[in-house]
Amino acid sequence: MEFSDIASVSGKGTLFNIVQPTRTGVILESLDEHKKKMVATMHNKVSILSEISIYTTDAEGAVPLEDVMKKIHKEFDGDTDLDKNSSPEELKAFLKFVLPDYDESRVYVSDIKKVVSWYDQLVKQAPDVLAEKKEEKKKETKKPAKKKEEDKGE
């Protein structure tokens, strides 16, 4: 599973796996243990996690949510010690630690709560999306080895 396979629906508290598109929307399945399915139509506000970014004050202007989530996972390894009842100051300090140049005027506390909530859900229900892709690393290390073998054969 990848970030492009996971969606959030406005008004729903959980994240969803994108199962299949339909003519009028998309079939979603909750990532939680209930695995409830729903059809999201054009009346639902569906956001795919790979298309979400967090505003920054640097030249780029934004950082993809996937990069932020992976950095959180690298720093905290699944336990941020935050939840939806954490104080605004704690939440802002948390995001400032993870993303020092986030735009404080455009990123609201409610946005940080979503990030924390989504991270907690991903750690519990889809930890593979937060792990670094080992296959890519293996492919990179195998390529030079193949070239050396080919060179020896010539």
pLDDT 10s digits, 40-73: 988 889 999 999 999 999 988 899 999 999 999 9
Mean pLDDT of 110-133: 87
Residue 154 has pLDDT above 70, yes or no: no
Look over the chain and give the mean of its residue pLDDT values, rounded to a whole number.
83
CA distance 120 to 32: 11
4: Cβ contacts below 8 Å, ≥ 6 apart: 48, 49, 50
Going by C-alpha positions, the residue among 34, 42, 44 that lies closest to residue 12 is 44
CATH 2.30.30.730 domain span(s) along the chain: 3-49
Query: What pLDDT, in 10s, does the model give residues 26-41?
Result: 999 988 888 889 899 8
Residue 152 has pLDDT above 60, yes or no: no
User: Under CATH, which architecture does the 52-129 domain have?
Assistant: Orthogonal Bundle (1.10)
What class does CATH assign to 3-49? mainly beta
CATH 1.10.10.1650 domain span(s) along the chain: 52-129
